[in-house]
Amino acid sequence: MNTICSSCQATNRLPEDRIDDGAKCGRCGHSLFEGEVVHATAATLDKYLQDDLPVVIDFWAPWCGPCVNFAPIFEDVAGERAGKVRFIKVNTEAEPELGARFRIRSIPTIMVFNQGKMVDQLSGALPKTPFNQWLNESL
């Protein structure tokens, strides 16, 4: 499988049976699967969408109350699904071109991508259990 380092955006190739072995980036040595939420920009998002792991993107803004309240849930689920799904946040205020490109009309908007193609979308924040259920159905 190919996966993208969240630190240096290098593409790393590794056998799928080695995901749980503490894999590190071949370029910078950063852990590849520690479950952190990655903050993407227009310059980095397309690279992350090339990951063989499914990608979940939270389009948000710092002034949005539901977005801020949903952030800890998004981070918790990202930690729980480390090595199985990549979680990304895009600040639509700082990256308006990404908001326009993905036709974001309300925030938070969560999108699931697999092999670079969007497979599902959710508008609005959910509590943790319904969010996990939605992810299970989407993945």
Q: pLDDT tens digit string along 75-130?
A: 999 999 998 999 999 999 999 999 999 999 999 999 999 989 999 999 999 999 99
25 an active-site residue?
no
- Domain spans in the chain, listed from the N-terminal domain onward: 35-138
Q: Which CATH class is domain 35-138?
A: alpha beta
28 an active-site residue?
no
For residue 32, the number of C-alpha atoms closer than 13 Å in the C-beta half-sphere is 29
**Identity of the residue numbered 28:** C
| Contacts for 117 with CB less than 8 Å, ≥ 6 apart | none
pTM (two decimals): 0.93
- Residue 10, CA distances (Å) to 31, 47, 51, 86, 98 in order: 12, 9, 11, 15, 21
Decide if 32 contacts 26 (C-beta within 8 A). no
Decide if 102 contacts 111 (C-beta within 8 A). yes
Catalytic residue among 5, 25, 28, 64: 64
